[in-house]
Structure 1
Amino acid sequence: MSRRTRTAAIGAGAALAVSVCALAAVAHSRPAGDTHAQDKGVILAEGNDRHPSRTARDWVTYADYAVVVTALDDSAIEPDADDPDNPVGDSGPVMRKVRLRVDKILWSKEKPAHEPPAAFDWNAFGWHQDEDGERIEMSGAHEPRIEPGHSYVMALQWQAPQCPPGDDPVPGQWRGLGDESTIPYDQGVLGQGEFEGRTRTAPAAEESALPSADPNFGLRDELVGRNAEDLAAKLGETQPGTPETAGEPADACT
């Protein structure tokens, strides 16, 4: 599978606000000696991005802030037994709610509509539950799973409250742009830390980075092994482009 392939209708980088629509998953085996190893590995879900997120221009065009965060704790978002479309015991994804602490603001758009958060909740992939109720860890492909104890750099965008016709209102929340708007950042090194549910070193991240001649080369590849100040400087010298879409979504609350 190509690193940049995006196929289904969900993605944790695009964050999942209400429900899971579709899933394309693959088993992901872990190397020997991995401290987070499981016999069945991690299921990787493919999904669509909310916004472009590959380049520095994408970040400064769509994000309100770029921040360093630490994941503090998480909990399962258990299926609703009263929901006939998602009964307990049925197979499918089980999501998590992760509490993130903002450690540093690296960059801000010129006139953000909201103050940056000190902490916020993040909807993340949790597990895929089979028909017998057994759960296997799940992560979005090509992005971190977001696990407690790890640090990340994130491009954040405030999504206003939404009122989809026929559904419960969705409160306003901080969301990512896409699968490349979250970068591992353990021990102050970009690329080092948790990625797709595994912990990897900076050299391993550098080995998997795309070369600059590759047409999909992006910010995450360019700055692997460097620090957040380098990323902040890159964003600060980058001019935003024209957003592909503008205005509030059609189901925004009025």
Structure 2
Amino acid sequence: MAVTGDKAGEKAGEKGRSGERAVILAEGSDRLPAQTAEDWVTYADHAVVVTAVDEAAVEPDTADPDDPAGAAGPVMREVTLRVDKVLWSAENPAHSAPSSFRWDAYGWHQDEDGGRVEMSGANEPRIEPGHTYVMALQWEPPRCPPGDEPIPGQWRGLGDESTIPYDGQVLGKGEFEGETRTAEAARSAESGASGVSALDTEPEGEPEYVVLRDEYSGRSAEELAGKLKSTEPVAAAEESGAPGAAALAAADCE
């Protein structure tokens, strides 16, 4: 299965939506830690406010025998995101913040008859035109895998919690898993999923932290920016997969 901006190794499951429709939710592991302010400032190059302005389906290539048109499986989208504001930047970002960029996103799951059902990553926004989000972005430089076509540099997310709905300048409000919800509904959903309130800490013996997306639900991006600016990155980041440790990346693909 193809990989979206912030996940890898997904598998799909279907989730009903109040009897009206269903959205296929793909679950998988995060690329990098994305739950805390420390995660964001350690692994991201920038935190930005973006608005999705356009999308296009990435249709199967009829000439590719491994991906024939009409085959069952995911159909991806390419979404154009406009950067409305840069909230925070790393001290030495790998790349300057963009004014706009393309984002690989789930589109639909296509069945054998050609019918399509909307598809989203689980526990994250689907990224739909007309909606606004806050994103932690990491620049992935061009890669030159031996024997394969060069892979252009691109902006990636960290994990499912590195994208936060931000409609109406309220964190948590907006599109999530293909549906629009209020900030209050976001807080309720997060609390219900964990069985604890967003401000509760981990059980005794576990590291104590508050999930950043939960903590700032209902608040402004400026408040989140203040948190990021006052947070220090983890010193050992490069050893655990920070941007500077991308061993397969190349400055240029010749």
TM-score interval, smaller chain: 0.7 to 0.9
1:151–1:125 Cα change, 3 Å: same
Amino acid at match of 1:14: D
Alpha-carbon distance between aligned partners in 1 of 2:62 and 2:215, rounded to the nearest angstrom: 46
What is the Cα deviation at residue 15 of structure 1?
5.3
Cα deviation code 1:100-124 (max 9, x no counterpart): 0000010010122322100000000
1:250–1:80 Cα change, 3 Å: farther
Alpha-carbon distance between aligned partners in 2 of 1:217 and 1:86, rounded to the nearest angstrom: 42
For the pair 1:43 / 2:24, whether they are aligned, the reply is yes
The question of whether the paired residues in 2 share the 8 Å contact of 1:190 and 1:227 is answered with yes
Q: 1:12 aligns with which of 1, 4, 7?
A: 4
Structure 2: 5+ residue runs without aligned partners? 192-196, 203-208
Alpha-carbon distance between aligned partners in 1 of 2:2 and 2:214, rounded to the nearest angstrom: 24
> Where is the helix percentage greater, Structure 1 or Structure 2?
2
Partner of 2:15: 28
Q: 2:229 aligns with which of 223, 233, 236?
A: 236
Aligned counterparts, 1:73-92, within 5 A: 73-92=54-73
1:217–1:25 Cα change, 3 Å: farther
Alpha-carbon distance between aligned partners in 1 of 2:149 and 2:226, rounded to the nearest angstrom: 41
1:220–1:11 Cα change, 3 Å: farther
Q: 2:102 aligns with which of 111, 117, 121?
A: 121
Partner of 2:241: 245
Question: In structure 2, the residue corresponding to 1:43 is in which secondary structure?
Answer: strand
The question of whether the paired residues in 1 share the 8 Å contact of 2:135 and 2:164 is answered with yes
1:10–1:84 Cα change, 3 Å: closer
Structure 1: 5+ residue runs without aligned partners? 1-8, 17-21, 33-37
Partner of 1:19: none
Q: 1:189 aligns with which of 166, 170, 174?
A: 170
What is the Cα deviation at residue 165 of structure 1?
2.4
Partner of 2:206: none
Question: In structure 2, the residue corresponding to 1:205 is in which secondary structure?
Answer: helix
TM-score, scaled relative to structure 2: 0.87
Partner of 2:45: 64
Partner of 1:4: none
1:104–1:203 Cα change, 3 Å: same
The question of whether the paired residues in 2 share the 8 Å contact of 1:15 and 1:124 is answered with no
Alpha-carbon distance between aligned partners in 2 of 1:168 and 1:13, rounded to the nearest angstrom: 20
Question: In structure 1, the residue corresponding to 2:40 is in which secondary structure?
Answer: helix
Alpha-carbon distance between aligned partners in 2 of 1:165 and 1:82, rounded to the nearest angstrom: 24
Question: In structure 1, the residue corresponding to 2:246 is in which secondary structure?
Answer: coil
Alpha-carbon distance between aligned partners in 1 of 2:210 and 2:13, rounded to the nearest angstrom: 24
Amino acid at match of 2:217: V
Alpha-carbon distance between aligned partners in 1 of 2:38 and 2:245, rounded to the nearest angstrom: 21
Alpha-carbon distance between aligned partners in 2 of 1:195 and 1:131, rounded to the nearest angstrom: 27
Amino acid at match of 2:61: D
The question of whether the paired residues in 2 share the 8 Å contact of 1:15 and 1:123 is answered with no
Aligned residues: 235
Amino acid at match of 1:213: D
Question: In structure 2, the residue corresponding to 1:152 is in which secondary structure?
Answer: strand
> Where is the strand percentage greater, Structure 1 or Structure 2?
2
Amino acid at match of 1:184: P
Alpha-carbon distance between aligned partners in 2 of 1:252 and 1:113, rounded to the nearest angstrom: 12
For the pair 1:95 / 2:87, whether they are aligned, the reply is no
